[in-house]
Chain A
């Protein structure tokens, strides 16, 4: 340092101190509250937007046939397995009749007994009828008392009734026999339609209660998606809307479909609306029942309106609005918004004119006094 003259030393000193000072001023002005907030602006565009609805649902079969016995019974045979195709009327399996044959023999015997009882009653009735005729003639001839005749008539009435009861008993026992035969028919599990076996809930040897499904068969052609739409964003949901379906296992594939119906009953607990969406063409291989699907519905495009991106909307002191930029000055204007689409464009019904510049992105929350600097790309955000 000794070789530096006084002037040289001053210069060297200045060379360090002046940049330091400049840097300090830069730092003070560029950071902290004095620094302008970088913002990105965008003009209000007049354009037509097509609102979309987005929901998720699961693949379900429209018709599921749960096939099982109508009596508590034991599964005897079950010939089909999950994934098998079955045709209408095909025997899928049988239930073990267990005591059926014995009960049928008992029933046959009961019928015979009823028939015999009916014959016995008929014989007694015929005899009583003959007796009545005979005693009436004797009464005319005066060789018997009126009391005896009356007694015979009363006996005939009793035997008439007994015969009627015997007939009815025979009919009852015969009907019981028919019912037993009908149950016998039901012990065979028949496929009601052409379909696909979806579940096999019991194996031979298992006892099932009446009504419990042994086999579940679906009609694969009737697959649909039970879609749930959040009620808050389900405006315009109606039958007939075109749908794009993305199955979870094939998420890159977009399948087309259509809303078949909107359920009249919404889910009150989850605050969702339910709709059934059918595939325009069934995907191959068939999606499994229960697979998750994302469904996007596109509503018809609306007439052109001023729109802003939803990133521009802010709520300040309870007022929904946007920051309008005019000559580098910020101004919060309240807006009334309409519908929005899935890309985040929101219709502005009142408050803004097309072409006005609004802030869409800002590096920090803006206030009335914020100084702003309009930039193309906010610092730190990858293009």
Chain B
């Protein structure tokens, strides 16, 4: 038995292929949009995973350190590390800023990490080149998305840092690549104003008669020194010992240290439900509309493709072809078109995804769902086309 659909496709193969590719690019855009949405959520997720923390201790009643600003005294970690169930408690700072390299500047999130043993919470969990920070000042590990290379000298505020390591997929919830620098430098960078501002502030202090008394030598110097320190960090990352639950460790910190503590699940909900909620909904809304529009276009293409062949179908009917055969032909063609479209879309999405400035995560599950949706939409669209085809009057083959 010859395949009626196959023969028909071969008859107009160019048209069929190009329609399929066009459809495919549309499907590709839809898949990419799904990838953008997933990427956004993944950015928030990796932020949590990469910190390596089980608990986040932040300023009381804030949603810090990612969703709100939070500041704690840097020595608070000492009173947390001795609590039962705490394996490690380390200070960390997060600060989004422009990092300059030569003429260029890159928006990135500077993360201040405590130098010491590798693998501490806050540290980049894996590298793609170079090494981790070993000096307690002026070294940096940068995400590869910053475009920095090993050995580059980058400038944060007034200090220069040498890029000693590169990592990957270390981003803030906004997708800004991270630059890891030693904690002391980060504290300074977070606090430090430009030199002009410092000089002006000194002058302002010196002109204040309360601080610059003739009878009290040294007072002005003491006031200025106290103005130019930053004993704060944004959060304390806590990892817990095996055998303890996060809640068990968090409770005494909340109760007795009067600080706010978030567990991994809570932090995840803060990031995804609060921080990126609106942006994600925006993209999600767009994805829904795009998917609906794509579905409509696919349906219309198949419908018009069938209507274009109405005369041939009339001939088929005239020569006594069974309705079932005609219906099968149309459905096979529609699904074939859908398959080509999906393949082109998947390939296109995979190849252009890495070009996007922010992360695009193409999940196999999404592709599978897309595949099923494409097949179902094609089948449904072909049903409409089949209804139109079966209603055709065989007389049209000779008439018109």
Q: How far is the CA of A311 from the CA of B125 in the complex (A)?
A: 9
Contact status B126-A362, CB under 8 Å? yes
Mask: chain A, 309-336; 1 = CB below 8 Å from B; 0 = not: 1110111011010000000000000000
Please tell me if B157 contacts chain A, counting CB pairs below 8 Å: no
Q: Are B132 and A311 closer than 8 Å at their CB atoms?
A: yes
- Check B119–A382 contact: CB distance below 8 A: no
Answer whether residue A20 sits at the interface, using C-beta atoms and an 8 A cutoff.
yes
How far is A382 from B149 in the complex, measured between Cα atoms in Å?
7
B217 within 8 A of A: yes
Residues of B within 8 A of A343 (CB): 131, 134
Q: Is B399 an interface residue (CB 8 A)?
A: no
How many A-B contacts at CB < 8 Å in the complex? 147
Q: Are A342 and B135 in contact (CB under 8 A)?
A: yes
Cβ-defined contact, B347 with A213, below 8 A: no
A318 touches B239 (CB 8 A): yes
Contact of B118 with A by CB under 8 A? yes
In B229-269, which residues have CB < 8 Å from any A CB?
231, 239-242
Closest-by-CB residue of B relative to A13 is: B13
For B367, the chain A residues whose CB sits under 8 A away are 32
B126–A232 CB distance below 8 A: no
**Chain A residues with Cβ under 8 A from B351's Cβ?**
27
**Residues of chain B from 109 to 167 with CB closer than 8 A to chain A in the complex:** 114-120, 125-132, 134-138, 144, 149-150, 164-166
Contacts of B346 in A (CB 8 A): 24, 27-28
- Is A209 in contact with B149, judged by CB distance below 8 angstroms? no
**Are A31 and B350 neighbours in the complex by a CB distance under 8 Å?**
yes
**In whole angstroms, how far apart are the Cα atoms of A17 and B149 in the complex?**
41
Report chain A residues within 8 Å CB of B87: 318
Interchain CA distance A73-B311 in the complex, whole Å: 117
Question: How far is it, in angstroms, between the C-alpha of A54 and the C-alpha of B10 when the chains are bound?
Answer: 74
- With a cutoff of 8 Å between Cβ atoms, the chain B residues found around residue A16 in the complex are 17
Smallest distance from the beta carbon of A225 to chain B beta carbons, Å?
A: 14
With an 8 A cutoff between CB atoms, is B285 at the interface? no
For B130, the chain A residues whose CB sits under 8 A away are 311
Identity of the chain A residue whose Cβ is nearest the Cβ of B121 in the assembled complex: A315
A269 and B75 within 8 A (CB): yes
The distance from the CB of B75 to the nearest CB of chain A, in whole angstroms, is: 7
Q: Are A311 and B165 in touch, CB under 8 angstroms?
A: yes
Answer yes or no: B206 CB below 8 A from chain A CBs: no
B-side interface residues, number (CB < 8 Å): 60
Are A230 and B343 also in contact (CB < 8 A) when A311-B165, A362-B126 are? no
Query: How many angstroms between the C-alpha atoms of A361 and B167 in the bound complex?
Result: 9
Given A269-B231, A342-B134, A381-B144, are A232 and B115 neighbors across the interface (CB < 8 Å)? Answer: yes
B169 within 8 A of A: yes
Contacts of A340 in B (CB 8 A): 134
Please give me the residue from chain A that is nearest to B12 by CB atom: A1
Is the beta-carbon distance between A344 and B132 smaller than 8 angstroms? yes
**B9 at interface (Cβ–Cβ under 8 A)?**
yes
Structural contact, B343 and A20, CB atoms closer than 8 A? yes
Contact of B126 among A10, A211, A346, A361 (CB under 8 A): A361
Indicate whether A55 reaches chain B with its CB closer than 8 angstroms: yes
Of A125-133, A162-170, A277-285, A363-371, the one contacting chain B is: A363-371
Look across to chain A and name the residue whose beta carbon is closest to the beta carbon of B24. A20
Q: Is A230's CB under 8 angstroms from B184's CB?
A: yes
- Is the beta-carbon distance between A24 and B343 smaller than 8 angstroms? yes
**Are B116 and A365 interface neighbours, CB within 8 A?**
no
A219 at interface by CB-CB < 8 Å: no
The digit string for B349-373, where 1 denotes a CB below 8 A from any CB of A, is 0110000000000111001000000
A139 lies within 8 A of chain B by Cβ: no
Q: Is A123 an interface residue (CB 8 A)?
A: no
Known contacts: A23-B347, A31-B350, A294-B138. The answer to whether A309 contacts B119 by CB under 8 A is: no
**Is there an interface contact between B13 and A9, defined as CB atoms closer than 8 Å?**
yes
Confirm or deny: A239 has a beta carbon within 8 angstroms of a beta carbon on chain B.
Answer: no
B residues near A33, Cβ cutoff 8 Å: 364
For B119, what are the chain A residues with a Cβ–Cβ distance below 8 Å? 313-315, 320
CB atoms of B118 and A361 under 8 A apart: no
Residues of chain A at the chain B interface (Cβ within 8 Å): 1, 6, 9-10, 12-13, 16-17, 20-21, 23-24, 27-28, 31-34, 54-56, 207, 209, 211-213, 229-230, 232-233, 269-270, 294, 309-311, 313-315, 317-318, 320, 337, 340-344, 346, 360-366, 378, 380-382
A-B CB contact pairs (8 Å), 16 listed: A13-B10, A28-B346, A34-B364, A54-B136, A229-B136, A232-B115, A310-B134, A311-B131, A313-B132, A315-B239, A320-B117, A342-B135, A343-B134, A344-B132, A381-B128, A381-B166
Residues on B lying within 8 angstroms of A by beta carbon are 7, 9-14, 17, 49, 52, 75, 87, 114-120, 125-132, 134-138, 144, 149-150, 164-166, 168-169, 184, 214-215, 217, 231, 239-242, 340, 343-344, 346-347, 350-351, 362-364, 367
4 closest A-B pairs (Cβ-Cβ)? A344-B131, A315-B119, A313-B118, A230-B136
